[in-house]
Structure 1
């Protein structure tokens, strides 16, 4: 792969490309798996990708938890960690200089449709994901399954962040049916152990007969915020108690619609509903997660709406035009009181909104946009760049000439951006660092193994995280077609020795 410095950007003329939305790519991924080229490895009785995993015969006996702690449901499996299929074969096939890898495959019997993957959540030395009716924790070091929890009904929605002590609240459907199922059941889970805590139905407005179908949730501290319909309510994660209701505000009748969490609790609202789209706008509020008190308010210009939050500290979000949608998008950074600090237009350089993640979904995350070290890094189908939040200027931009997706995943220092380069069906990806000058200042951190290339490619780089020097790549959706199985997660770490 070669790179071109910022001059490659023809202003207003991003290079033509075919339809490659991340969602579409996830739904149309080929039936690819772990094609380990290790047939010559003597005595290798290996699990092929997607093969049925051996299950422990009995769950480990556990003592009754103290009063007030989550209980262990019948669907929780907490035996000794189950090794990730193919781990030994991947190690045997690894070539000199390649990264170490493990792959979490999935043997869940899924409906024949596209199933969203929720998470991941990093808790201690594990990474946790939710898929359909299962929540699974994998050990970061080697991918071994630490625990697995079977849920009574499918997952509808999950927050981006757990509480600081590793608890989360999932929203479950009332039934397993694809049609007509409401999303109105809360289930608290301790992600450290897989044990479940309180559960309750989402409280609906008795004046309305419409069931909760689309729900948005976020966690900040010990507070769970839930937006449903044109209202939002906050609950305490530890016991499920109702804390406060987020009010509709006038003038403009700003109806709460989505929430974002983490170190801050943000609530977005749509204002001036029912009027001309050119006059409606969005509002963003920061709330005290304990009391619901408003710390500041921010509103967009008329005709624009808040679409995704890329960071809550500092607050950085994307806005789109009400009519032109992502054809007219911006990155907006706010100051400590909700004032506009900087507005950036990434379109002349060919960057795409949140890596084609779609619109009108959850407020978090915004894939392909990473904020840190005073910069906002933007990725895309074949390019990555960095803007200075203080000035709004593009500092550098590089392009991959073979069509690979470049995803910024973090900052190693004030002058180093960690970038993930996606795999192709036959070539593995890699992880590298770009310095403040962009092109010409590249340092390769990991060359991903050839033996895992097909499995890596099948994730379509839907979500990519950089955790403790390790890369975690996963799909945002998986296919329920048994002939098109995809891995849940592919992990890469620098090889030792």
Structure 2
């Protein structure tokens, strides 16, 4: 397989137009009043009201490394090639690969894939009622946990000790179930801890429809509709509630975690959406004390959190949405440092994967070494956070998605180039001097091209020199099954 190297375009030269359009599957714009706000974010795959009772969570199962997969069938349900099949089909110079598939019976609809999380030497993923850990080295299933009901929300990152709190629906139905049951899971062992209905309030009839969660240290922040609270991960105890501010006009709406706890509030809701704006607060996770506040201009909102340290987020116009987006960098006290408009170079918001209800993650945008790296269809580049100017950029012309996935040093950026329906992708290191400094790290195997392509628009992680791909959704239709995880690593030979 031969590849055409991307061509350099300098900061003063705009790239050609004609990039591929994508379906925007997420949030409707902020609507009139609080009721319409809740209704708008309700359309992003969450569960509604219901009254099914929970069953005790099952203990995880552990598995030995997978055995050789049978030959591909000529009829019947589709399947991904097994790890041994990929090894046998690998050509000289191609990367080693494994594919994690699962024969679990799923509802016949598209199901959201939650994260993955990297914990120790495993990658962990939640899908429907299953949470599964796969060994990074070969994709073997390490443990699997079956939950009583589907997962409808999960934080982007676990605690430093490898614990996560997922939000479960109250029933199996796609409609008519609340999202208010919280389950602690140890991602190292696959064992469950406490389970609580944290959002159940006997004094109100409003169900928990929209839940956004984030973990910072040993604290879990939960935003539901236009309220938010912080709990202790270890035991689920309420630590503090996040108040509305200004006065009562800024209602907490989304949360982001990691080394900082950030809360986004939606402010000045009313008939005129041009007056609505977002407020961003950093809180002390344990006490709730506000460390700083930042607000967007009227008519714009915080959309996705790119980084919490330094704080870098994307903003959008309330009406034009992804057609009018920016990258905003803040200083250590929440002061505005830089606003960057990547649209002139043809970059897409979060690599064009669409909008969602949560703040994290923002696929396709990476902050490292004072640069914000931006990817998208046919192009990848980096802007200097100190100046806001384009430091470098490259593009190709074959419709592939270029995703910055790591920056091991200020001199280079690791980029994943997506597969097409018939051609595999690759991973390369791009120096700041452009295409002439390109170094191929992995040529992905042709035998895995179909599986790699099926993960397009999902998550791309670069872990210890290994690429991990997970699709955004998995179909429950056996005739078009997708692999859960696709992984590539430099071959030993």
TM-score normalised by length of structure 1: 0.87
1 CA distance for matches of 2:333 and 2:16? 35
2 CA distance for matches of 1:99 and 1:363? 34
- 2:7 aligned counterpart, secondary structure: coil
Correspondence for 1:91: 87
Change (3 A) 1:395 1:83: farther
Correspondence for 2:104: 108
2 CA distance for matches of 1:400 and 1:111? 39
Q: Is the 8 A contact 1:411 1:418 kept in 2?
A: yes
| Cα-Cα RMSD | 1.7
Correspondence for 1:2: 5
Shift of residue 358 of structure 1?
2.5
2 CA distance for matches of 1:4 and 1:401? 9
- 2:479 aligned counterpart, secondary structure: helix
Q: Is the 8 A contact 1:9 1:350 kept in 2?
A: no
State whether structure 2 residue 231 is matched by structure 1 residue 231. no
Aligned pairs for 1:252-331 (under 5 A) are: 253-331=249-327
Shift of residue 348 of structure 1?
0.5
Shift of residue 76 of structure 1?
1.4
2 CA distance for matches of 1:73 and 1:284? 36
State whether structure 2 residue 62 is matched by structure 1 residue 78. yes
State whether structure 2 residue 17 is matched by structure 1 residue 15. yes
State whether structure 2 residue 481 is matched by structure 1 residue 485. yes
Shift of residue 208 of structure 1?
3.2
Q: Deviations over 1:350-378 (max 9, x none)?
A: 10111223235100000110111111000
- 1:454 aligned counterpart, secondary structure: helix
Correspondence for 2:143: 147
- 1:380 aligned counterpart, secondary structure: strand
Shift of residue 207 of structure 1?
4.4
Q: Is the 8 A contact 2:6 2:435 kept in 1?
A: yes
Aligned pairs for 1:13-412 (under 5 A) are: 15-21=17-23, 74-82=58-66, 85=69, 86-251=82-247, 253-412=249-408
Q: Is the 8 A contact 1:419 1:433 kept in 2?
A: yes
Change (3 A) 1:14 1:219: farther
2 CA distance for matches of 1:251 and 1:111? 45
2 CA distance for matches of 1:92 and 1:220? 44
TM-score normalised by length of structure 2: 0.88
1 CA distance for matches of 2:248 and 2:278? 10
2 CA distance for matches of 1:429 and 1:119? 22
Q: Is the 8 A contact 1:252 1:272 kept in 2?
A: no
Shift of residue 14 of structure 1?
5.3
Change (3 A) 1:322 1:194: same
Shift of residue 16 of structure 1?
1.8
2 CA distance for matches of 1:163 and 1:214? 23
Give unpaired runs (5+ residues) of structure 1: 25-71
Change (3 A) 1:476 1:5: same
- 1:209 aligned counterpart, secondary structure: coil
2 CA distance for matches of 1:368 and 1:343? 18
Q: Deviations over 1:194-227 (max 9, x none)?
A: 0000001122444431201110000000000000
